[in-house]
Amino acid sequence: MDHAAVIACIEQVAPPAGAAAWDNSGVQAAGTRADVRKLAVTIDPAPGRLREALDWGADLVLTHHPLYMEPKALSRPGYFLDAARAVLASGAWLYAAHTSLDVRPEGPAGWLARALGLRNPRVLEPAGPEAPRTGYGLAGELPEPLAWARFAERLAGHVERGFWTLAGEAPELVRTVAYCTGSGASLGAAARAAGADVLVTGDVKYHAAMEAEIFTIDVGHFSLEERMTREMAALLDERLGPQGVAVRFFPGSDPLRVHLPR
């Protein structure tokens, strides 16, 4: 399948026009291969993961996170240079669907709302008045109110990370849930305005936790977006598989680890 047609399929799910102004969604490295027979999907353009995908024979690698936010010089050893070397030497294409995917909650970004069965889902931070269904984060009602401990059990069944950090006071009952993939601590006020009892997200920082406007559960950036990326791979497999493109998801790894000295 022509590489431009594969990219067009990706952009039907994650239109680049929806990406944030500061973001670098889109083609990260232009390949030399006209056709795509194998499409690899993974969360990060990590050198090791890219080599796995390229060894499999990927003609195009789709990542969620970009290779860079601002252009970098290819002069310093490390992550960026190793990743660039791997993909450029192969002739494969590298494409990132970052905030272009995050702002489409009806797609893979809304996976947790569907997993929890949230009703009446609405966007926390719409992209604009002309696109109220597009934007960051979602809030919705659970099928039935749950005590905090029961909600935590249900959430744990969908989130793979083995530990969370909490900010604010836990409610006795959880009726309405807000969540945002990646780093969504800034949506606390919007979550509260949407009537949410909890906000599920990642990357909550110290001062944001001190001033939390809503009970916030930080389950980790990786855990939310790894599942989102896997769902993106499954969706593309449905659309591209019948057209002769093999789609394979390559699991990523959380760069943050827990160390318990005692």
Band of the pLDDT at 9, cuts 50, 70, 90? very high
| Count of structural domains within the chain | 2
Query: Domain for residue 260, yes or no?
Result: no
Give the largest Cα separation in the chain, rounded.
57
Query: Domain for residue 235, yes or no?
Result: yes
Query: Domain for residue 254, yes or no?
Result: no
Poorest-pLDDT segment among 23-32, 64-73, 87-96, 111-120: 64-73
Query: Domain for residue 133, yes or no?
Result: yes
Share above pLDDT 70 across residues of the chain, in percent, rounded to a whole number:
99
Which pLDDT belongs to residue 106? 94
Distance of CA 244 to the CA centre of its chain: 26
Question: pLDDT, tens digit, for every residue of 244-259?
Answer: 999 999 999 999 988 8
Q: State the average pLDDT for the chain.
A: 96
Q: Are residues 137 and 115 in the same domain?
A: yes
Q: What is the CATH number of the domain that holds 56?
A: 3.40.1390.30
Question: pLDDT, tens digit, for every residue of 95-105?
Answer: 999 999 999 99
Query: Domain for residue 138, yes or no?
Result: yes
User: What is the C-alpha to C-alpha distance for residues 202 and 204, in angstroms, rounded to an integer?
Assistant: 6
Which pLDDT belongs to residue 262? 84
User: What is the C-alpha to C-alpha distance for residues 38 and 188, in angstroms, rounded to an integer?
Assistant: 40
Q: Are residues 95 and 108 in the same domain?
A: no
Q: Are residues 75 and 14 in the same domain?
A: yes
Question: pLDDT, tens digit, for every residue of 126-166?
Answer: 987 767 689 999 999 999 999 999 999 999 999 989 899 99
Q: Are residues 215 and 110 in the same domain?
A: yes
Which pLDDT belongs to residue 71? 84
Share above pLDDT 90 across residues of the chain, in percent, rounded to a whole number:
92
Query: Domain for residue 28, yes or no?
Result: yes
Q: Are residues 195 and 125 in the same domain?
A: yes
Which DSSP string do the residues of 83-134 spell out, in sequence order? HHHHHHHHT-EEEE-SHHHHT-TTTGGGHHHHHHT-EEEEEEEEEETTEEEE
For 210, the token pair is: 């001190």
Question: pLDDT, tens digit, for every residue of 207-219?
Answer: 999 999 999 999 9
Q: What is the pTM of this model?
A: 0.95
Residue 130 belongs to what domain range?
104-219
Q: Are residues 113 and 96 in the same domain?
A: no
Q: Are residues 91 and 160 in the same domain?
A: no
